[in-house]
Structure 1
Amino acid sequence: MLDLVRPEDIPRDLFSPTPETGEKPKALMAAVDGLNSKLGKGAVGYGLAPKGAPWQMRCDNRTPSYTTSWEELPVVKA
């Protein structure tokens, strides 16, 4: 019963190595860990903005959170 799906068709999560990538994710993690040990904790990451960045997110055109905040629901009077 376990062999109903080919190994290459098994759904994987985002961080699981695939047959195409093989050992690349492990090598990448080892490289990042090596750089962080030399340069200091958190010096190298994956597409992260640095903490305390001088820029601020622009919220001028942000849509209100109608679906996540009861306080922001519009009130309709009939």
Structure 2
Amino acid sequence: DDGSGMTVTISKYLTPNGRDIHREGIEPDVESSLSVEELRDLGVDGLGTRKDRQYRVAEGIVLQALAQSGGGDARGL
């Protein structure tokens, strides 16, 4: 036995209304892009962190939606 293996995943990614997004993805409600320089400066480890401007924009949108919905402020989480 050489330790090799195989995994077969069978699943669908559906939106809350049941639309299959496989191979299509989702069109963003808010677009925020990074320049080549920003990507280079961030590096792989910086993506998806508070150093990432796209992350901060998304975080602000989520926090605003929470506050408007009465869900409170999640910054302390």
TM-score, with structure 1 as normaliser:
0.28
User: Which protein has the bigger helix share?
Assistant: 2
Question: Which structure is larger by alpha-carbon Rg, 1 or 2?
Answer: 1
Higher relative CO (CA 8 A, sep ≥ 6), structure 1 or 2? 2
